[in-house]
Structure 1
Amino acid sequence: MDVTNLKQKAVIFDMDGVLVDSEPLWQKAEFEIFSSLGVQVTEELTLITKTMTTKEVTEFWRSRSTVKDISFQQAEELVISRVIELIENENCEIDGIENFVKLIKDQGYKIGLATNSPYRIIPVVLKKLKLTQYFDAISSSDSELNGKPDPSVYLTTSGKLEVDPEHCVAIEDSYSGMLAAKRAGMKVIAFTNGNKDTDLSIANYVINNFEHIDQWPAIVGN
């Protein structure tokens, strides 16, 4: 399909919850690392950290730690390293994502990634999914002053793609991520993956899976 006459020229993916089902892996890593540092990690508290950047999560748990001989940076690196290990060894791919990315690449769209996760996790995920060569730009909120819902990481990614934000569509699974993309001036597609609890009120379109997207050209072309 020729995309030159369509309004949307690029598709920017969130990573956690869109490319990989990594939320349980982050929770497991947080529990293991911060429990070992004397923190009482509860389900109630993990709900608070759900949409935070890794730095924000580390600060949240580190302030509750009884172990004082480990630095903030060391604690953060322990969590990141454990998440990478889990991603490499667990079946965490979102069903249909590999073929979906290849489909839209074949249709001529530029493809980007904008995530709150640390930058060094991105290559691990793309290698796991065998999708490294399909992404034209990747960005992490690590390099921004603020993570999502601030729009910075989306604006950075559209800049790398050399596509105006209004010509980009973002695929997100969280309200915080959708808000970031909206604030950047992008069209937003909410990916639910069967989750009925996400606030979808600001999404332009909603898709439940990546395996049966017959309406995809019409969604992006509008």
Structure 2
Amino acid sequence: MKQKGIIFDMDGTLIDSMPVWQNLGGNFLRNHGVKPPDNLNDIITTMSFQESSRYFVKAFGIPLTEDEVNAEINEMIRENYGKHLPLKPFVKEVLDQYRRQGIKMSILTATDRALAEAAFKRLGLIDHFDFILTCGMTGLSKRQPEIYYQAVESLELPEKEIAIVEDSLYCIQAAKNTECYIVGVYDEFSKNDWDEIKRISDRTINSFEELKK
């Protein structure tokens, strides 16, 4: 890639965390005596953290505020981000390479900022990024192109000099509203969308090994 800046998604792109998220909503509901619907993951997969908390409260009558739901879910997964979740293969090598090249890098994620910071500090990568921007910080979901405009503005580079790296189709569809270079990353969690991801992305990779030099 020849871009001067890169906006990375985190979960499923840099960090192999999607299996944790896949069961999280159902486990939260079971903890509150609610049988989760069979299509729960389909319902919440494109929601921001705040939107999913609101959904749990309103749809299932969970007797908590949205902030309390956020806090409980954060606590359920905090240990995973702080201690266990690994990078996807070759990510560290590529990020180190881009840092040496002076490429500006940032994170745009639906995950809580504290969790993202805990993971990247543990993995020794926190200083690689100019900023971490989250859905919670902006009040926007990653379905909305506006969140990508905000990330671009924070990186302080022209759109055409920025790459956006994502693994989810709905995020790529929103990011395509910018003039950035779109890189689709394969992840098992979104494998059913891979053909469409390949069709609309400027480039796709099955592994970060393809970005090594």
TM-score by length of 2: 0.88
* Letter paired with 2:206: N
Q: Which ranges in structure 1 are unaligned for 5 or more consecutive residues? A: 217-222
Q: String of CA shifts for 1:78-113, please: whole Å, max 9, x gaps.
A: 002222222223343211111111111212211011
Q: Superposition pairs for residues 73-222 of structure 1, below 5 Å?
A: 73-193=67-187, 196-198=191-193, 199-200=196-197, 201-214=199-212
1:100 alignment partner, SS class = helix
What is the aligned residue count? 209
| CA positional deviation for 1:53 | 0.6
- Conserved in 2, the CA contact under 8 Å of 1:59 and 1:72? yes
Deviating 4+ runs (over 6 angstroms): none
- Conserved in 2, the CA contact under 8 Å of 1:38 and 1:65? no
Which residue of the partner structure matches residue 11 of structure 1?
6
Which residue of the partner structure matches residue 23 of structure 2?
28
TM-score by length of 1: 0.85
- Conserved in 1, the CA contact under 8 Å of 2:112 and 2:134? yes
Cα separation, 2, equivalents of 1:24 and 1:47: 14
Residue of 36, 44, 48 corresponding to 2:43 = 48
- Conserved in 1, the CA contact under 8 Å of 2:49 and 2:135? no
Q: Cα distance 1:148–1:67, how it changes in 2: closer, same or farther (>3 A)?
A: closer
1:196 alignment partner, SS class = helix
* Letter paired with 2:8: F
Cα separation, 2, equivalents of 1:152 and 1:129: 30
1:17 alignment partner, SS class = coil
| CA positional deviation for 1:130 | 1.3
Cα separation, 2, equivalents of 1:91 and 1:22: 6
* Letter paired with 1:147: S
Identity of paired residues, percent?
23
When you count helix as a share of all residues, which structure comes out higher?
Answer: 2
